[in-house]
Amino acid sequence: MLESDYNIVRVDRRGRYFLIGGLRPYFWVFDSSGKVTHRIGRHGEGPGEFSGIMDLAIDAADSVFVFDHSLYRVTVYTPDLEFARTFPLRLRLDGSALFVGASLLVNTGIHTEDRVGLPFHLLDRDGRIKRSFGSVAGGVYRADLQDIIDRRQLAQSTEASFWAARINQLVIERWTVDGRLLGTLHWEPPWFQVWWQPQADAETPPVTSVVALEQVADTLWVLVAVPGERWRSAIEPDGRLYRVTDLSEYQNAAVAAIDVGRGVAIASRRMPRLLQGLTEGGLAFHTEADTFGNPVVRVYRLEIHSPSTQGG
């Protein structure tokens, strides 16, 4: 198997898996047993065509909203995966999108006077911005750091609230869709190195970065990409720059569980490979590609075991 850049998996209420990645102009659909049922989309600008898919969100009725990064638009499919409509997106999506209850929420930076420093944007069903929010201190703009300041990983908490984690440090906020900050979790484990400007040289390990989070009952799961223990052997230096030759050695994953009620981390574990994301129901996934380039998804269920159940 080969490493794959498919990095987003969504699961609908029918148990189907939707897979995207690499800004490809199509997405894959698997049934609940893991069998491929559809590959939807092709390159172009017509109905059902895409330039580069950035994210995919599924509403409570299992309608599928596909966000095109380059064409600034959203394509909607029915629960039976038939093309329904397309509407313009009045922003460039560089982050995540999800439904919080009936509300469509996106995370991206908009560098206008009235929205700069506000990373969350609530959209109506036609892509118009209803509300922008997310900065307690008001909008802040730093041209050299704005992508890091704005970027969050998102997960639904309740029908009217969501979690938002910064990617460069373990600061996790809980917001309502009407713009109220409900609380903030701070965690500083020794294995997470806070960063602001990632380095790209052969002497510096890859950054530690929050990849995904997902709430299951009273547990908030957090997935973090960490430097592989043998990251130096996974690169091929080229002057000060380098080429990654083995992604599985270059980066690994750490999974942490946070008790939502107490706001404290209750478990964490380093994994021997990089997991690309989390999805509904407390599932983690790793993607690979077969010799034809088709995706293969390995799904893992996250559970917490006390030390006694693990033999001490």
pLDDT of residue 164: 97
pLDDT of residue 136: 55
Compute mean pLDDT per 10 residues along the chain, 312 residues long, and list them.
80 95 96 96 97 96 96 97 95 91 92 86 92 72 66 94 95 96 94 85 88 96 94 82 84 95 93 89 90 90 72 36
Structural contact between residues 297 and 30, judged by C-beta atoms closer than 8 angstroms: yes
CB-based burial, 161-186: b 16+ in 10 Å, e otherwise: bbbbbbbbbbbbbbbbbeeeeeeebe
pLDDT of residue 98: 95
pLDDT of residue 237: 77
Q: In this structure, what token pair is assigned to residue 256?
A: 């942490």
Structural contact between residues 32 and 297, judged by C-beta atoms closer than 8 angstroms: no
pLDDT of residue 73: 96
Q: In this structure, what token pair is assigned to residue 223?
A: 């997935």
C-alpha–C-alpha distance, residues 279 and 20, integer Å: 13
pLDDT of residue 244: 85
Helix (H, G, I), strand (E, B) or coil at 40: strand
* 253 DSSP β-pair partners: 225, 271
**Cα–Cα–Cα angle for 271, 157, 119, rounded to 5 degrees:** 90
Q: In this structure, what token pair is assigned to residue 237?
A: 């230096």
pLDDT of residue 311: 38
pTM of the model: 0.90
